[in-house]
Structure 1
Amino acid sequence: MRFSANLGFLFTDRPLPEAIHAAARAGFAAVECHFPYDFAADEVRAALEETGLPMLGLNTWPGDRAAGDFGLAAVAGREDEARAAIRQAVDYAQAIGARAVHVMAGCTDSGAEAEAAFRSNLAYACDLAAPVGLMILIEPINQRDVPGYHLSSTAHAASVIAALRRDNLRMMFDCYHLQIMGGDLLRRFARYQPIIGHVQFAGVPDRGAPDQGEVDYGWLLPQIAALGWPGPFGAEYRPGEAGTEASLGWLTRFA
């Protein structure tokens, strides 16, 4: 199996270009990130080219985190901000050769206006990304970590994807979030596999290293691979105070 290092959580004690090199040295087959916008795109692209690692994806800017923002796409009345964040992400992804953009929905009242804004902004994102070959991802995020997040179930994500009918719109299947929001991970993966664009994982319930907690990824990930999922699987976990390198014992065992 092949694994991707999510540099939003891993190797965060160094600048993003250096983190890409660290991921390559550790044996990861790819990288992904959250919000790379503080780093010049040409420096990030150079690091990717030097290591040969693909950048699988990045997130849209989440808004004002201090004010409670966790994405903008479903926040009614803030469509201009949401679309500016989408354009920024698509432009940056194109500049570094990334493969996908995760459009963050944000926290809402889950009402009709929020859903309409979400679908409209996603359609805009898909239509902007398609000509440059980018996938748009949406991710169900659990309500324990992010109360009020607009998208928290696979069924909701599937209904949005079916309604929009965009070939480049897919679901992010994050095992950590989905274990908290109902579990039954292998069966759910099999059910939604045709619309899944990326798989992530972390230990549950604390989002720590994946070789501890209530999910046996040593069993689950090979089962997902056996269903035809090619990977890489995205390691998006908090490594703890000892640092990323000290947390990587799972990488050899799972590979």
Structure 2
Amino acid sequence: MTKFSANLGFLWTELSLPDAVRAAKAAGFDAVECHWPFETPAEDVAAALKETGLTMLGLNTVRGNPGENGLCALPGREAEAKAAIDQALAYAEVIGTPNVHVMAGFAKGPEAHATFVANLRYACEQAAKLGKTILIEPLNHHDAPGYFLGTSAQAVEIIKEVGAPNIKLMFDCYHLQIMEGDLTRRLTDRLPVIGHIQFASVPERTEPDCGEVNYDHIFAHIASLGYDAPLGAEYKPRGTTDEGLGWMKG
């Protein structure tokens, strides 16, 4: 049976983060994940996770200044990038989160590539001390035009170049359907480097019960590959989160 993780960056956003964790447990999710939890005391989140028995699977490094979408591929911003990595890892350690998504930001070209690789090596070194994994995620060029990382092929090459055992691909079916399509074969091909899988309808980015992707097929295919970690529900509900959970009940 497929397991699911509630992405609290989009689900139950009207609640505090600890209460959103409790709502996810009540709704039957197997885990949770989030975007930027840093304004909530980590101890409060840790308490909610302990109370519910859920794991917070992942969180992101900060976006940076207003209008930015990450720091780690921005030449000249290395000190801020490392501070963001340190912040995310420290928070993850308190709440028992195994994965940190290092956000690249808006950049392009060889210098940005070299900067991203160098910052990722730093992230992997620091994460290894805590037994944690670094994730990188391609974003589509409609929602995040100019984002440095746009395809799974680019991510795979960066993962190889970084050369650390604890860097993996965050395979977001929504972003990669828009950028590449062919999700069934893509999941099979990328499986050795996948650290987490997310989903939403395409192109709406709502509940996975509409649009151009047949998630019944995708979920069954992921299970057939032997991947059994919770899949991240990172979608924007059409109404309230609770009203839109019919897809979980089959």
TM-score interval (norm. to shorter)? over 0.9
Per-residue displacement from partner, 1:192-229 (whole Å, max 9, x unpaired)?
A: 10000000000000101111111010111111111111
User: Equivalent of 1:159, from 157, 160, 165?
Assistant: 157
**2:29 corresponding residue in structure 1:** 28
Percent identity between matched residues is: 55
1:206-221 mapped onto 2 (5 Å cutoff): 206-221=204-219
- Whether the aligned pair in 2 keeps the contact of 1:171 and 1:195 (CA below 8 Å) is yes
Which letter does structure 2 place at the counterpart of 1:232? P
| SS of residue matched to 2:195 | strand
Q: Distance in 1 between matches of 2:187 and 2:10?
A: 24
| CA apart distance, 1:45 | 0.3
**1:7 corresponding residue in structure 2:** 8
**2:190 corresponding residue in structure 1:** 192
**1:98 corresponding residue in structure 2:** 97
Which letter does structure 1 place at the counterpart of 2:222? I
Per-residue displacement from partner, 1:46-74 (whole Å, max 9, x unpaired)?
A: 00000000110000001123xx2000000
Q: Distance in 2 between matches of 1:221 and 1:106?
A: 30
**1:243 corresponding residue in structure 2:** 240
| SS of residue matched to 1:88 | helix
TM-score normalised by the chain length of structure 2: 0.99
**2:113 corresponding residue in structure 1:** 115
Per-residue displacement from partner, 1:109-130 (whole Å, max 9, x unpaired)?
A: x111100110000000000000
Q: Distance in 1 between matches of 2:122 and 2:77?
A: 14
| SS of residue matched to 2:171 | strand
| SS of residue matched to 1:133 | coil
Q: Distance in 2 between matches of 1:147 and 1:220?
A: 26
Which letter does structure 2 place at the counterpart of 1:135? T
Q: Does 2:44 match 1:43?
A: yes
Per-residue displacement from partner, 1:103-158 (whole Å, max 9, x unpaired)?
A: 000001x1111001100000000000001111000001001110000001111000
**1:16 corresponding residue in structure 2:** 17
Q: Does 2:84 match 1:78?
A: no
Which stretches of structure 1, 4 residues or longer, exceed 4 Å deviation after superposition? none
* Number of residue pairs matched by the alignment: 249
| CA apart distance, 1:231 | 2.0
Which stretches in structure 1 are left out of the alignment for 5+ residues? none
Which stretches in structure 2 are left out of the alignment for 5+ residues? none
Q: Does 2:58 match 1:61?
A: no
Q: Distance in 1 between matches of 2:89 and 2:180?
A: 32
The worse-fitting range, judged by mean Cα deviation, of 191-200 and 217-226 is 217-226
Q: Distance in 2 between matches of 1:99 and 1:222?
A: 25
Which letter does structure 2 place at the counterpart of 1:2? K
- Whether the aligned pair in 2 keeps the contact of 1:211 and 1:218 (CA below 8 Å) is no
Per-residue displacement from partner, 1:161-183 (whole Å, max 9, x unpaired)?
A: 11111010000000000000010
TM-score normalised by the chain length of structure 1: 0.97
- Whether the aligned pair in 2 keeps the contact of 1:225 and 1:231 (CA below 8 Å) is no
- Whether the aligned pair in 2 keeps the contact of 1:56 and 1:99 (CA below 8 Å) is yes
